[in-house]
Amino acid sequence: MDQKQIEAMAQVMAQALVSALDKGEKEDGGWEAIARNGVRPYLQGSKQYEITGTPDAKYAHGPGGIFSLAGIENLVVNAHMTPQDLDALIPAYPTVYMNPLYPFLTGFSEDTGSEPDGQCEDCLGGTMQGCTMTATFGHICRASDEINIRRTMQMINRGETTPLTLLGGVFGAGSGIAQMPNTPGDWLEVVTRAEMVKVAVLQQRKLYRMTWNGNPARNTANGGYREFPGLEMLVGTGKVDITGTTCPSLDSLVMDFNFMDVEDADAGGNDIVAYISQGEWYVRHNAGAMGFLPVEWVVCVRPELWYELTAIWPCRYNTNRCSNPNNSQVSVSLLGDTMTRERDAMRNGLYIDINGRRYNVVVADGMTELCGDPAQSCWNANLASGEYASDFFFLPLKVRSGVQVLYWEYLDYSKSDMEIAMTRSQNDFWTDGGRWLWTVERARGCYKMYAEIDPRMVLRTPHLAFRLDNIKYTPMRHLRSPFFDSPYFLKGGVHERTNPADSWYSEWNVRQ
């Protein structure tokens, strides 16, 4: 038989075996295992195993293990950067609805015409309008390395240090959409758990950036990768009904600082305090006139912008519009130690006072940042070397003392329990309340894991949000980044070590 005949026969045998299993004609555990792990991939088309048979997972212990050096201390100190972001403040709700419809009452218009002359003539009437909007899921998947189960329990000898304890954390303090999986603290010791943690870190990085810059225009053609609209799109203008009719009453307030430095003012003398104060006043007026008060808002900025903004805010805020260009005799006195205390309090307490009201601040590493380095993907021609620019967001979280208006939704994979059971594969499972679907692909003792999530962000009150774009700042030193493709991302180290046993002599390893 040639190779094509062998493959054709294998295909026929596989189909026959799986058909028998599906009809319950063969329930022998051994044959079921063969069908699950060795036969079903033949039925998935020309693409067969993703398993290569050459495991590439990195191990903490055993030959080549990262922490297999004899005599090391058992306390592993973390130097991995965890993103700070909005995630912890936004709840995540499960759903199975792919195309939700969100109705809005946009107002009442008055009919055109003249006021009645006679007492019994028709009076002017009006019409009520509304808009309906929707939301869409993203889809993100990440994979583990290929693991050899025979390698996972190996140790070099009694010289290896166990157990290992991690000082620090790799997931951060959040509890929102990106927090996964629910992994025990001994993950450094268990290869499968360590690979799950690695997948979780990769997913977290992707989700934190997509929170801000997600755009369905970047979806792949066949749906393997999809982006949900991020806050740069949700907090925006051009809102439309699902019919395409414009809904300007739902537009957010978007202003542009036009790449002025955070310390500068425009031609009219309006500085950063004037812009932000106007934005807060505008959306708060909306909230009051629409019956939403009290509203819980939060300010979101990049950490580098926050540091520069707090450096000038106390002085600018406390002297805003105090000077008189027509009277050079007007002077303003400030106490330097008072301004310094206010600046430090803002930084340590993560708050900002706007129009006499205090708002919590979130420093968000995932927010888009532009830079003046033409060699980087963040380059913008409006910036010089060493200069950066990003945005200021003012977001509503809750209205009327508790109604959540900014939240996550995720496709609830826990609802697939029956379908998973029907496949009898035992290679699929979900974690974290159905948020993540895990699939295990096996070939004998080798296996890989895949994690998928379908999230979306929902902002029910875009007309209560505002953003100020393109604020320039020049930090003395840019902060380290938690994102691997950033020029400020630092890692280093090794992913495996030379096993000292490789140099030992034995009767089967006599060196010449």
Let me know: does 405 contact 89? Beta carbons within 8 Å: no
Can you give the pLDDT at residue 72? 84
- Cβ within 8 Å of residue 205, ≥6 positions away: 83, 482, 483, 484
Distance (Å) of CA 174 to CA 89, 93, 163, 204, 289: 8, 15, 27, 11, 34
Q: Give residue-wise pLDDT tens across range 377-423.
A: 999 999 999 999 999 999 999 999 899 999 999 999 999 888 887 77
Residue at token pair 């305090």? 273
Would you say residue 219 lies in a domain?
no
Query: How far, in Å, CA of 316 to CA of 320, rounded?
Result: 6
Can you give the pLDDT at residue 193? 86
Would you say residue 10 lies in a domain?
yes
Would you say residue 43 lies in a domain?
yes
Would you say residue 176 lies in a domain?
no
Can you give the pLDDT at residue 248? 95
Positive/negative CA dihedral, 245, 248, 250, 252: positive
Would you say residue 284 lies in a domain?
no
Q: Give residue-wise pLDDT tens across range 302-338.
A: 999 999 999 999 988 988 777 655 555 566 677 888 8
Query: How far, in Å, CA of 381 to CA of 327, rounded?
Result: 39
Can you give the pLDDT at residue 107? 85
Give every residue of the chain whose pLDDT is below 70, as ranges.
1-50, 173-176, 178-185, 323-332, 425, 500, 502, 511-512
Would you say residue 70 lies in a domain?
no
Q: What three-state secondary structure class fits 57?
A: coil
Structure tokens at 403: 């109604």
Would you say residue 17 lies in a domain?
yes
Range of the domain at 21: 1-48
Query: How far, in Å, CA of 140 to CA of 438, rounded?
Result: 12
Can you give the pLDDT at residue 306? 97
What average pLDDT does the structure give for the chain?
84
Would you say residue 18 lies in a domain?
yes
Buried b (16+ CB within 10 A) or exposed e, 341-375: ebbeebbeeeebebeeeebebbbbbbbebbbbbee
Can you give the pLDDT at residue 179? 67
For the chain, the domain total comes to: 1
Can you give the pLDDT at residue 466? 97
List helix spans (H) across 320-400.
336-349
Query: How far, in Å, CA of 431 to CA of 412, rounded?
Result: 10
**E-state strands within 400-474:** 403-404, 406-411, 428-431, 436-443, 446-453, 455-459, 466-473
Structure tokens at 259: 């790449």
